[in-house]
Amino acid sequence: MLYSETNVASYVALEQKQRTPEAAYCDSVDDAHINHIRRIAGIDHVGLGAGYDGINFTPRDLEDVSSYPRLFAELLGDGWTVDELEKLAGRNLLRVFEEVEKVRENQRLSGVRPYEEIPPALRSDEHTNCSTNS
């Protein structure tokens, strides 16, 4: 499994609201989250995601991908190597997708058809926007 930092972006932003205004976003993002995931899952299983839709707020100074260079600089200062940052930035994702494509091709050659479950139709009174509580 490839863990994505974007999955915890809302949590980090909420956590920052409870901290002092002087707290840098990197305190939460790299120390508390990326480094934690790296320690638990290993460098080959961590990556950054840019899917900011579906979250209500972002960590301060990490509103979009334009802040990734600053984040990478912080991680370099924490002892990450350039090779590890390349894995974080996308090499891990590419490796996983290469394996996915191999599985897909093996299944195709074996005659295994894709499993496609069509989700049930949503009721009009259900709230479907995951970025709001309304």
Q: 76-87, pLDDT tens digit by residue? A: 988 999 999 999
One-character DSSP codes across 23-67? --HHIIIIIIIIHHHHHHH-GGGEE-----TT-S---TT-SSGGG
Burial class of 27 by CB neighbour count within 10 A (0 to 12, 13 to 18, 19+): middle
**Residue 8's pLDDT band (cuts 50, 70, 90):** very low
Higher-pLDDT residue of 112, 54: 112
Asked if 2 and 96 count as a contact pair (C-beta separation under 8 A), the reply is: yes
Higher-pLDDT residue of 25, 57: 57
What confidence score (pLDDT) does residue 15 get? 46
Sorted by where each begins, the domain ranges of the chain are: 18-109
State mean pLDDT over 98-113.
Answer: 95
Give per-residue pLDDT as tens, 25-41.
Answer: 555 566 678 888 999 99
pTM over 0.75: no
| CA proximity to 62, closest of 73, 50, 75 | 50
Give dist(CA 16, CA 30) in Å, integer.
13
